[in-house]
Structure 1
């Protein structure tokens, strides 16, 4: 029979404090946004749903991790705990950064700024800082404690998944209007799928069960990501150049979406390129040993 062991030092550790802050801030933020009238943000409902999903999803994950850490039941979960905590912390930091940027953008596009909207934005910023603090604490631990996802290649894979997730709210409003959007959506979808497969392999400790060696599989996924994001980046920059043409009537909302997509695509392409370089270096090292 499992016994719950509560240690006094667990309630004063930096991880306990930042995780408590994460749970409180995310709960406060999505509660404030949920209390707003949906009709006030109807013109950008996709971004509102994305922000709400981000806060609710990471509130649930953080509460679960926080509870299991306190009662010391995390050893009963059939996942790599050290990789899971780093993944949630870093991805929570990136996703809440996006929500902290997108939600004020939604509010500023509305003619009336409510106090609860401002309070929700502040709460989202505090949430981002809390997740960033946890990421720093976990990534500065010893390699044995932080696992693969706390290393540079692991962090790059989290950035890749984050980049793919950002494309969902950016492309949904205009996915049926241009053939370029269909091409880039397919590229982003394939990369999100490969990132999820990588995450499942790492968190589930399935590396030894893979049909291919893990290092070659990761290199293949990185190469696919580089090729697909190169295509997407070229399309994005072409659209940016088209926006600068004289006499083209494009709304400010569409311009903002294209610019944001271009920035995120470029950052994600850089992450895939660096990750591919690490994978090639590892393959060359192992071939000479």
Structure 2
């Protein structure tokens, strides 16, 4: 039997989600009314706004009808992980869209950019509202290490989007970097999926120790990628003069990959510090 829970839309987090639905709907509607193109970055932005809109509506529906309590998943982990993912996706769209498609006389494009930025702020607020506080019993993905896992997976996806097979097949060192990105992404994704699916009990060792081992391994692997990727990517490869826009310049994408590699290196270091604190200090206490 379905019971309606009006608090799902009247609590602070519910109000924020309703506003997210409104602004993401306005954003993709404005963008679609201006132009239709097969450009990869325009498609990414449209997918981001539509995906976040659809999933937020679904979350509101499940919580309003209390069907979320009947799902065989960790609902708290799922909603918090989605809020973090949506924040990162819309942040990227809010940067990519105005840089590539907005001009001083394009009113609809400016409106799209503004609404996208407001949607980003709303999802960031939701992350703050759903994040577990110190001493609070909550799901793993609503804690800082859990949110960092979502960040690490998202950054890896940005790296994969910018990768081109012609960029890394020339040097074994670059192929190693791609292997680092893939291996660490798979580990992060598995932890996220196991957490949402309530399958952490299947780990053959204590989860906190597995997490610490994975993070330390990722830090060591990313240290090599931080050094090797720019070393070989920009070796005898100066910036071409034709790189007047981002999306038609492979050299710019090499820069993005280098930057995102550093971002993930920092994220894994912070994640390692938190996981070691969990193992060596909190668990002993």
Asked if 1:5 is matched to 2:40, the reply is: no
User: 2:57, 2:16 → 1: CA distance?
Assistant: 12
Deviations 1:27-52 (A, max 9, x none): 2222333334344xx5xx22222222
User: 2:192, 2:283 → 1: CA distance?
Assistant: 25
1:159 corresponds to: 151
1:75 corresponds to: 69
User: 2:76, 2:180 → 1: CA distance?
Assistant: 31
Structure 1 stretches of 5 or more lacking a match?
Answer: none
**Of the candidates 165, 175, 178, which is equivalent to residue 165 of structure 2?**
175
Following superposition, the deviation at residue 103 of structure 1 comes to 1.6
2:264 corresponds to: 268
> Contact 1:50/1:169 (CA < 8 Å) preserved in 2?
no
User: 2:191, 2:44 → 1: CA distance?
Assistant: 23
Asked if 1:194 is matched to 2:190, the reply is: no
Asked if 1:279 is matched to 2:275, the reply is: yes
1:123 corresponds to: 115
> Contact 2:74/2:195 (CA < 8 Å) preserved in 1?
yes
Following superposition, the deviation at residue 6 of structure 1 comes to 3.3
- Shifted more, 264-273 versus 175-184: the winner is 175-184
> Contact 1:138/1:146 (CA < 8 Å) preserved in 2?
no
Superposed, which structure 2 residues align to 1:101-140 within 5 Å?
101-107=95-101, 114-139=106-131
> Contact 1:175/1:182 (CA < 8 Å) preserved in 2?
no
2:223 corresponds to: 230
Following superposition, the deviation at residue 69 of structure 1 comes to 1.4
Deviations 1:136-181 (A, max 9, x none): 111265755642222221122121112112113222xx33244365
> Contact 1:243/1:255 (CA < 8 Å) preserved in 2?
no
Superposed, which structure 2 residues align to 1:16-165 within 5 Å?
16-39=14-37, 45-107=39-101, 114-139=106-131, 144=136, 146-165=138-157
Distance 1:19 1:159, change over 3 A: same
Report the aligned-residue RMSD: 2.9
> Contact 2:24/2:52 (CA < 8 Å) preserved in 1?
yes
TM-score of the aligned structures, taking structure 2 as reference length: 0.84
Distance 1:146 1:60, change over 3 A: farther
> Contact 1:239/1:258 (CA < 8 Å) preserved in 2?
no
User: 2:278, 2:62 → 1: CA distance?
Assistant: 35
Distance 1:164 1:234, change over 3 A: same
Following superposition, the deviation at residue 205 of structure 1 comes to 1.4
Distance 1:144 1:269, change over 3 A: same
TM-score of the aligned structures, taking structure 1 as reference length: 0.83
